[in-house]
């Protein structure tokens, strides 16, 4: 009986940790106006290692300065998003030139309309790699199956515990 209770407590603990991590990593930052993005190349190492998750917040053009790290779309309707450091700001044309910290050359000028926002200094190593795997169809399926299996085991253990309690009372 103690073993059943211990296993059930462990499963409930695992589920609680999963929910807390999801809240801390996704929900709370989004409530504060930040969107998570994954670093998939080494252009911003060592500040943002490959596989890190960063948080980006939309800001007005006037708040973007040389030295800031911004995230922007490379072209209209393209799925590519880049996070690089600002090297030049043209206030009149509202364009920005960026460069990856690990790159030798600057990127071309981009329009402010392509800017998603400023990246925070906070990054979570490896979490970007994990969420990239999760976003894959199989990753979502595996996550759902694991949660359902854990909930099912917890439910079955609860039934066994209740049946054991009933059998003990009858004796």
pLDDT-derived band of residue 97, with 50, 70 and 90 as boundaries?
Answer: very high
Does the pLDDT of residue 167 top 80, yes or no? no
pLDDT-derived band of residue 166, with 50, 70 and 90 as boundaries?
Answer: low
CA distance 64 to 56: 13
For residue 90, the cross-strand partners are 95
Of 10, 68, 74, the residue nearest 40 (C-alpha):
74
pLDDT-derived band of residue 118, with 50, 70 and 90 as boundaries?
Answer: very high
pLDDT-derived band of residue 160, with 50, 70 and 90 as boundaries?
Answer: confident
| Coil vs helix vs strand at 149 | helix
Does the pLDDT of residue 9 top 90, yes or no? no
**pLDDT higher for 71 or 168?**
71
Q: What is the dihedral of CA 85, 91, 93, 95, to 10 degrees?
A: 10
**Correct CATH for 35-125 of 1.20.120.1630, 3.40.50.450, 1.10.286.10, 2.10.109.10:** 2.10.109.10
**pLDDT higher for 39 or 151?**
39
Chain segment 65-74, per-residue pLDDT in tens:
999 999 999 8
CA distance 7 to 21: 21
CA distance 109 to 107: 7
Q: What is the dihedral of CA 139, 140, 144, 146, to 10 degrees?
A: 10
Check if the beta carbon of residue 71 is closer than 8 Å to that of residue 116: yes
- pLDDT of 135 reads 62
């Amino acid at each position: 009986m103690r073993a059943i209770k211990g296993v059930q407590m462990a499963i409930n603990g695992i589920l609680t940790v999963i929910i807390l991590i999801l809240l801390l990593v996704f929900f709370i930052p989004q409530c504060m106006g930040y969107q998570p993005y994954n670093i998939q190349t080494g252009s911003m190492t060592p500040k943002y290692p490959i596989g890190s998750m960063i948080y980006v917040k939309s800001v007005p053009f006037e708040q973007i300065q040389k030295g800031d790290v911004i995230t922007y779309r490379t072209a209209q309707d393209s799925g590519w998003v880049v996070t690089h450091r600002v090297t030049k700001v043209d206030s009149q044309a509202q364009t920005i030139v960026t460069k990856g910290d690990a790159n030798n050359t600057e990127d071309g000028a981009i329009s402010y309309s392509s800017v998603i926002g400023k990246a925070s200094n906070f990054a979570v190593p490896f979490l970007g790699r994990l969420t990239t795997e999760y976003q894959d169809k199989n990753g979502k399926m595996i996550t759902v199956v694991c949660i359902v299996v854990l909930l099912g085991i917890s439910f079955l253990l609860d039934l066994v515990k209740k049946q054991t309690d009933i059998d003990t009372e009858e004796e």
